[in-house]
Amino acid sequence: MDNKKVVLGVTGGIAAYKAAELIRALIKRGAQVRVIMTKSAKEFISPLTLQTLSQNQVYTDMFVPAEKYEMAHITLAEFADAFVIAPATANIIGKIASGIGDDLLSTTIMAQEKPTLICPAMNDKMLANPIVQENISKLKKLGYVVMESAQGELACKTSGKGRLPEIADIIEEIEALLTPKDLKSKRILITAGPTEEPLDPVRFITNLSSGKMGYALAIEAHRRGAEVILISGPTNLPLPPVEKAIKVRTAKEMYKAVMDNYKKADVIIKAAAVADYSPKILAAEKIKKDKKILSLELKNNPDIIAEVGKNKGRRILVGFAMETQNLLDNARKKLKKKNMDLIVANNLREDGAGFRTDTNIITIIDRTGKTESLGKMTKIEAAGAILDRVKKIINGNKKRNNNG
C-alpha cells in the first residue's frame, strides 16, 4: 500500500472505535490516510484520536471557512485512490443508495467515482431488515464493494451477524481494491498445503508444507480480480477471500475435489505438497506398540497434476517442483512429463525458500525452456511474479486466436 491514498469514512456505531485500529494498520502498510467522520461518529470516538493516528486533520464539517481545511471535500475525492467506510451504519448505506447528500461524508461519496469499500456494522435485526438488504444489493449492483458483516457477539448483548469484519479482512479487501484487475473474468483453481494420510485413528503421514505459497497465490489472484477456487489440505492459515474454498485431508480427497472442479477453470495452479504415498491399510483401531519393528506398507497416490495434464485442453497448468538436488533438471522433466505450461522450482536446501517461510526463492520455467531465476522475495511477491507469467501466456493465446 506504499503511498496509496485512502479516504476513510467513519460513521456512528459502536464499532467506530475499531477505526483507530484500521487507521494504524493502514499507516503501518505505508498508506496515506484522510478521515471523514460523521456527527454521530464523534459521539463514539474523538476526532483527536483519529487525527493523531492518521497524522492528518480529520474532516467533520460541511460548512466551514475555506481556510480551516487544507483540502476541500471535492479535492478529497480527487486525492483518494480508494474510499472505505468502516464502520458503515444502516443510515449511511441508505443515504448512498438513495442519493442523499446531507453531510460531508455522504456528499463526498456522491461526488467521486473511485473504488469504494463499505464495511457494514450494526445490530443483527437492522442488518437483516429487507430495506437495508435491498440497499446493500443496490450498492453492489452499482459497483460498490460491500463486505459481509461478521458473525458473533454484538454490542447490544445479543449474538448474530452484524459485527464489523476483522481488521485483517478489511485490510485485505482494501489491498484488493487498490490492485488493478488484470485477471478479471479468469477462473483460477489453486491447490495448497500438505495432505495427511492416516494410518490409524490418531496417526498420519504428512510433510512440512504450511500452505503459505498456495494461500499467497489465492490472495494475489483474488486481488487481481480472478475468481478463485481454493482446494486446501490441512493448514493453520485463515481462509483468503476466495469465491469457493474446499478443505480436504488426504491426497485422494484432493484428487476428487480437483477432478470435480478443474474443468470450470481457465488456470490450474498446483502448489499443494501432495503425499506421494499413503498407508496400504488404514487400521480401524489405534496401532499398539507390541512389535519390536513395525513395517508400514505404502501404496502410491494418484498424481493429480499428471491427470489434469492429460485432459487440460486450453487450460493453463502450473506446477511446482520442490527439490533438494538437481533442481532445474528435475523441474524440466516434471514440466514435460506432466504436460504443464509453467513449473515453479525451488530448492528446499536454500535459506529463505520452501516450506513454512514467508519468503521464497523461485525459478520459473516455461514450455520453451525459458528459465527465469528470481531472487528472494515474499510469497505474495512470488505469487505476483507467477501470475504475471500466467497473464503473459493468456495474452499470447488470445493474440494467436485473434490471428487465426
**Among all residues, which ones are annotated catalytic?**
156
Q: Using the minimum distance from each CB to ligand CTP, give the nearer residue, 248 or 305.
A: 305
- Our measurement of the distance from residue 101's CA atom to the centroid of its chain's CA atoms, rounded to an integer in Å, reads 33
C-beta of 240 vs 309, nearer to ligand CTP: 309
Q: By CB under 6 A, is residue 81 in contact with ligand CTP?
A: no
Q: Which residue from 154, 242, 321, 386 is in contact with ligand CTP, where contact means CB under 6 A?
A: 321
Cα dihedral across residues 353, 358, 363, 367: positive or negative:
positive
CB of 317: closest distance to ligand CTP in angstroms?
A: 9
**Contact between 276 and ligand CTP per CB under 6 A:** yes
> What is the smallest separation between the CB atom of 303 and ligand CTP, expressed in angstroms?
4
CA distance 311 to 327: 27
Round to whole Å and give the CA distance between 178 and 298: 48
77: Cβ contacts below 8 Å, ≥ 6 apart = 7, 108, 111, 112, 114
Q: Using the rule CB under 6 A, is 109 a contact of ligand CTP?
A: no
Sheet of 145-146: strand order equals 58-59, 32-37, 5-10, 82-88, 116-120, 145-146
State yes or no: residue 303 binds ligand CTP (CB under 6 A): yes
116 binds ligand CTP (CB under 6 A): no
Which of 31, 251, 316, 365: binder of ligand CTP (CB under 6 A)? Answer: 251
Instruction: Find the binder of ligand CTP among 7, 37, 265, 274 (CB under 6 A).
Output: 274
Q: Give the residue with the Cβ less far from ligand CTP, 162 or 214.
A: 214
304 binds ligand CTP, rule: CB under 6 A: yes
Q: How far apart are CA 120 and CA 341, in angstroms?
A: 42
Q: Distance between CA atoms of 40 and 167, rounded to whole angstroms? A: 22
- 270, 312, 315, 389: residue in contact with ligand CTP (rule CB under 6 A): 270
- Taking CB under 6 A as the binding criterion, the range among 3-11, 55-63, 218-226, 319-327 that sits at the site for ligand CTP is 319-327
**Contact partners, residue 233, CB within 8 Å, separation at least 6:** 191, 192, 193, 194, 195, 196, 209, 211, 248, 249, 254, 272, 273
- CB-nearer residue toward ligand CTP: 107 or 278: 278
DSSP codes of every residue in 370-389:
-EEEEEEEEHHHHHHHHHHH
Cα–Cα–Cα angle for 391, 397, 401, nearest 5°? 145
Does the footprint of ligand CTP cover residue 241 (CB under 6 A)?
A: no
Q: Which part of the chain contacts ligand CTP (CB under 6 A), choosing from 32-40, 89-97, 299-307, 350-358?
A: 299-307
Compute the distance between CA of residue 223 and CA of residue 366 in angstroms, rounded to an integer.
Answer: 24
Minimum gap (Å) between residue 269 Cβ and ligand CTP? 8
Residues 175 and 1: beta-carbon distance below 8 Å: yes
Binding footprint of ligand CTP on the chain (CB under 6 A): 251, 270, 272, 274, 276, 301, 303-305, 319-322, 334
